[in-house]
Amino acid sequence: MDHSFKWQGRNDGEGEAHLRIHQVVNTSQHATYAFIGFSSDEGVKRNKGRVGAADAPDLIRAQLANLPVHQPVTIADLGTVVCDSGKLETAQAELADQVERCLKQGMKPIVLGGGHEVAFGSFSGLFQYIQNHEPNKKIGIINFDAHFDLREAEQVTSGTPFLNAATLSAQHQQEFHYLCIGVAKHSNTKILFETADRLNSTYIYDNELQQKNVENIILKIQKFIGKVDYLYITVDLDVFSASIAPGVSAPAVKGVDLSVFDPLLEAIKETGKIKVFDVAECNPRFDLDSRTAKLAAYIIFNYIFD
């Protein structure tokens, strides 16, 4: 684990009303939330995408540092899992162990990615926790993403995490519950749709994600959540338009608007079932004015604070 990031930022005065996130991180023995970085773009590289996402965790932290604290909160920063020498499977296993440890301690992990290969590590951590501590609980995955990431490949990549999750579930005779929100028809091959259907996945197209449809979409999401006990939420930043998320591995032509995304995340949050949350595919190498890192921090801020 890399612990080199230093939390620092503005200090506007004494008292809770002035607090910013950098002033509350690592100040409590028993934190509610835990940041874990995942420095990897090996999965993107294997998927023949544009690399650079390995640099994301600390840049997302830097954007989080100055955001205000509107209600009492405790956050631990557990450092960053680093994918060394292309050893992605080792890094994913390390992330899974960190996530499981957090859950055992009663913390809610927030993983800062990294390529979307982060998703298999995050999911595996929740899966391990349930296998070892609450074996009757069912997991639901909600992936905000233009891509299914159900690709079949000889090795783990950023395009395979949810097929990897389905395989792991099947190996333990567990049901696989997967909802993908923001699927772009022009970004997924026919075989990916066939795989999604074979796995009984639920999906919502990007062109459905309009303000006039928000209530109906929330009902669809709630129906999905009603079948499971715990949720793993992953936000691939390429689900948003390239104008607000230019710094991603695969920029979106269309993308989802925040005015639609925000109420959907809020509705999911209100169920109280979220156990693990991550943000993926922030690629600082292609970012403009830190827009994508700011977007990642904004999403995490809205997840933490009411």
C-alpha–C-alpha distance, residues 194 and 189, integer Å: 9
One-character DSSP codes across 277-292:
EEEE---GGG-STTHH
145 annotated among ligand-binding-site residues:
yes
Nearest Cα to 275, choosing from 245, 213, 230? 230
70 annotated among ligand-binding-site residues:
no
For the four alpha carbons of 272, 278, 281 and 285, in that order, the dihedral sign comes to: positive
Q: Give the containing element (helix H, strand E) for 93.
A: helix 88-104
Structure tokens at 130: 């349930």
Question: At residue 37, what is the residue type?
Answer: G
Q: Are 228 and 140 in contact (CB under 8 A)?
A: yes
238 annotated among ligand-binding-site residues:
yes
The Cα angle at residue 109 between residues 224 and 50, in degrees rounded to 5? 85
C-alpha–C-alpha distance, residues 152 and 281, integer Å: 20
236 annotated among ligand-binding-site residues:
yes
Report helix, strand or coil for 185: helix
Nearest Cα to 5, choosing from 111, 54, 78? 78
Q: Which residues carry a binding-site annotation for Mn(2+)?
A: 116, 145, 147, 149, 236, 238
Q: Which residues carry a binding-site annotation?
A: 116, 145, 147, 149, 236, 238
